[in-house]
A and B are shown apart, each in its own frame.
Chain A
Amino acid sequence: MKRFALLGLPNTGKSTVFNRLTGMSQRVGNWPGLTVELTSARLLLGGKMVELVDLPGVNDLTGYSDDEAVVRDVLMSTAFDAAILLLNAAQLDRQLPLALQVLASGLPAVVVLNMADEARLLGISLDLPLLRQRLGVPVVLVSAKRMEGWPALLEALNRQAASAAVASHAQLERVPETQQAIMQARALLAGCWRLPAVLPAGITEKVDAWLMHSCWGLPLFFACMALLFNLTYQIGTPLQGWVGDGLDWFKEAALQHWLAPLPAIVQSLLLEGVWQGVSTVLTFAPILFVFFILMALVEDSGYLARAAYLTDAFMARLGLDGRGFVMQLMGFGCNVPAILGTRVMRERQQRLLTMLIVPFSLCSARLQVVVFFAGILFTPHQAPWVLLLLYLLSFVVAIFTAWLFKHRYRGNEAFLLELPPYRLPGMRHMLIRAVGEVRAFLELASSFILMGVVLVWLVSHIPAGDNKTLADMLGTVLAPVLDPIGIRHELAVALLVGFVAKEILLGGLAVIYGVPEAGLGAALLHHLDWASAMSFLIFTLVYVPCLSTVAAIRRESRSRSFTALSVGWSVLLAWLLCFAFYQGLHLLR
């Protein structure tokens, strides 16, 4: 089988071209021998099966950013039959140097100039035959969005695939340095590519006059975020509810009957352990799908870069970039997609720092718990203010965490971000991307989540003498840490349940006090005093949001120690806050 690499700078429409060429057949997988995940797909070109590998967008082959290292590693470790070099036809002045570096490495290449439509609108003059002659490789001009120039592209790819040459490794030692490549590109473009002296003002300038305005920009940003957020949950939550109902129905109508002949303990393991895990994973799918569609809209339209511009002054002080703020806000709906969404940040340190603070966003599942507790602990007049205070607390905790860890995860000072012209994202492209993201999450996170759920089931079912289970023992064992923060021993199990998902925490509490969920408020008031209930609530807010978030962090960071740090830090911080609250209250009394 032949193997082609798809290479280009960020924002050149690489994934659109990839999707156009391969459709739904793509898959995300670990690259053999390297700890990176790449998207690849098989397609038929020139009568041969070709594996097309989508490499991360890079500016330069000699640089040391994370993505540049990945591209170099892949090119060094793997033989390719050809590189498809994607360049923005309107920005050849800064994009051709990369092409020259790749050509110098000796890989056979097809140069694809994308965004022909935008180049035309800008009035750019291009002598394609002359460029082809100077580069000495096939060059085609396309607009991937409009499928313009597609037959010529396919013809060039077919011819490349039909060639009898054997695959070769890129000779990276022959790649010219940045400055040298820029000079070569400049000489090469003289006389065959030219920008007009004055660029025509387009719609982008008019929109930016509002969206990047020094007064209106930020309010409009928050309005956009509120809209995005509401759309995600207005559409996603009912879908999530239906999936949940459907799974419950299946459990009650079919699963329980099928499992009835089995011994009670096995039934419990399968229903409350395994099935609970399966449902937890599956109910995330709709919200992730909606989130990724909307995020693709924000990113591909070009707005995300504007959001970064508006919030960067504040975020830079926390060691983050403006895009982290968008993820932090999205986390207020659900932390899982927000963690996966940090992928827009290409620098690892920045991503890790953002992933560390996202779990403190008070998500909708925790909101349920907060609303319930606020309702029983405060008067109807006080409750909304308490809620507001807890939202503020989650922001403060996130800011404090970023401030504390910003030196450990120091990002590169040289932060530059392209502000692409506003573009209308393609519907098909967004759908393919969302389906791919959801599938990848389900494949990689499901085993982790399932394992966690079964583990918690085991802890709460393995007998430990005296008619008690390991979970009951937990409270006693943890007494030295629970007592100073005023959390009663029996609630250790509730915290363990809450670790799996906050959605099932209230149900867990009802089981602990042996009451139906409707009577839970009265039972809690009876068993807990005000201070200890508040302490439990604060702990619930700050510690690990849920197992799925942990799975997402594990998948995105590819690091067990980082995942452990994230979990450990949130538990420690929760404990410290509860300690300060509970002991402070005691001193005041």
Chain B
Amino acid sequence: MLSLDKFPLGCKGVVDSLDLSDEAFRRVAAFGLIPGSHFSLMRSAPFGGPLVLEVGSTRFLLRRSLASLIQVRVAE
């Protein structure tokens, strides 16, 4: 298990847990990131910029500070 900001670029993964406030959880869940959901890490901006994830057919960016609170594992 590792946090999302350390996840290898270009790989697919599964969300394990989210250590977020209710409000932040709602925002993240609205993009489909909930425990058990599959995602792939598409891009990562240089200079500590945001990550781009794909969940289902939805692509979105999220900041690394937020990603560090999301525990994930590589999908088999």
Are A and B bound to each other? yes
B-binding residues in A (CB < 8 A): 9, 59-60, 62-65, 90-91, 93-94, 97, 122, 124, 178-179, 182, 195, 199, 208, 212, 214, 305, 308-310, 312-314, 316, 412-420
Q: Of all chain A residues, which has the CB nearest B44?
A: A214
B35 to chain A, nearest CB (A): 9
Using Cβ atoms and an 8 Å threshold, which residues of chain A touch B61? 305, 308-309, 312, 416-417, 419
Complex CA gap A308/B30 in Å reads 19
- Chain B residues lying within 8 Å of A313, measured Cβ to Cβ, are 45-50
Q: Can you list 15 A-B contacts with CB-CB less than 8 angstroms, sorted by A residue number?
A: A59-B27, A59-B30, A93-B55, A93-B56, A94-B55, A178-B26, A179-B29, A212-B43, A309-B50, A312-B45, A313-B48, A412-B23, A413-B66, A414-B23, A415-B50
What's the nearest-Cβ distance from chain A to residue B76, in Å?
15
Choose from B23, B48, B62 the contact partner of A416 (Cβ within 8 Å): B62
A-facing mask of B53-76, CB < 8 A → 1, else 0? 001111111110110000000000
Residues of A within 8 A of B50 (CB): 309, 312-313, 415
**Distance in angstroms between the alpha carbons of A515 and B34 in the assembled complex:** 71
> Inside 8 A of B45's CB, which chain A residues have their CB?
212, 214, 309-310, 312-313
Q: Are A195 and B56 in contact, with the CB atoms below 8 A?
A: yes
With a CB–CB cut-off of 8 A, which chain B residues contact A417? Answer: 60-61
Decide if A178 touches B63 in the complex (CB within 8 Å): no
A126 to chain B, nearest CB (A): 13
Smallest Cβ-Cβ distance to A118: which chain B residue: B57
Is A416 a contact of B31 with CB atoms below 8 Å? yes
A182 touches B28 (CB 8 A): no
Which chain B positions have C-beta within 8 A of A182?
A: 29, 34
Is B11 an interface residue when CB atoms closer than 8 A count as contact? no
Q: Say yes or no: B46 contacts A124, CB within 8 Å.
A: no
Partner of B24, one of A93, A208, A413: A413
Contacts of A415 in B (CB 8 A): 50, 62-63, 66
Q: In the complex, how many angstroms separate the beta carbon of B42 from the nearest chain A beta carbon?
A: 9
Residue in A64, A97, A208 whose CB lies within 8 Å of B23 = A64
Contacts of B55 in A (CB 8 A): 93-94
Please give me the 4 A-B residue pairs with the lowest Cβ-Cβ distance, nearest first. A59-B30, A313-B49, A414-B24, A313-B47
What residues of chain B lie closer than 8 Å to A412, measured between beta carbons? Answer: 23-24, 27
Quick one: closest B residue to A68, CB to CB? B26
Seen from chain B, the residues whose Cβ lies within 8 Å of a Cβ on chain A are: 20, 23-32, 34, 43, 45-50, 52, 55-63, 65-66
Question: Are A413 and B34 in contact, with the CB atoms below 8 A?
Answer: no
Closest Cβ–Cβ distance, residue B64 to chain A (whole Å) = 9
Known: A65-B23, A178-B29, A416-B28. 10 other contacts (CB 8 A): A9-B30, A59-B30, A62-B26, A91-B56, A93-B32, A93-B55, A124-B57, A309-B50, A316-B63, A414-B24
- Max chain A C-beta neighbours (<10 A), residue from B43, B48, B66: B43
- B49 A310 Cβ-Cβ under 8 A: yes
B58:A418 contact, CB within 8 angstroms: yes
Q: In the bound complex, what is the Cα–Cα distance between A413 and B28 (angstroms)?
A: 11
Q: What's the Cα separation between A90 and B62 when bound, in Å? A: 21
Name the A residues within 8 Å of B65 (CB-CB): 316, 413
How far does the Cβ of A72 sit from chain B's closest Cβ, in whole Å? Answer: 13
The one of B23, B48, B52 that contacts A63, using a Cβ cutoff of 8 Å: B23
In Å, the complex CA distance between A415 and B23 comes to 12
Is A419 a contact partner of B62 (Cβ separation < 8 A)?
A: no
Which residues of B are found within 8 Å of A212, using beta-carbon distances?
43, 45, 52
CA distance in complex: A500, B28 (Å): 45
Task: For the complex, give the distance between the alpha carbons of A314 and B45 in Å.
Answer: 11
Provide the residues of chain B in CB contact with A63, threshold 8 Å.
Answer: 23, 26-27, 30
Contacts of A65 in B (CB 8 A): 23, 27
A317 nearest CB neighbor, chain B only:
B48
Cβ-defined contact, B43 with A414, below 8 A: no
On chain A, the residues within 8 Å of B63 by CB distance are: 312, 316, 413, 415
Name the CB-closest residue of A to B46: A214
Residues of B close to A414: CB separation below 8 A: 20, 23-24, 27-28, 66
Tell which of B30, B49, B55, B63 has the most Cβ of chain A within 10 Å.
B30
CB of A59 within 8 A of CB of B26, answer: yes
In the assembly, what is the distance between CA of A543 and CA of B43, in Å? 41
A158 to B53, CA, bound (A): 40
A313 CA to B30 CA, complexed, in Å: 23
Closest residue on chain A to residue B57 by CB atoms? A90
Contacting residues, chain A, for B62 (C-beta < 8 A)? 415-416
Please name all residues of chain A whose beta carbon is closer than 8 Å to the beta carbon of B43 when the two chains form the complex: 208, 212, 309
A416 touches B27 (CB 8 A): yes
B29: A residues at CB distance < 8 A? 60, 178-179, 182
Question: A332 to chain B: closest CB distance in Å?
Answer: 23
Which residue of chain B has its CB nearest to the CB of A302?
A: B59
Q: Whole-angstrom distance from the CB of B47 to the nearest CB of chain A? A: 4
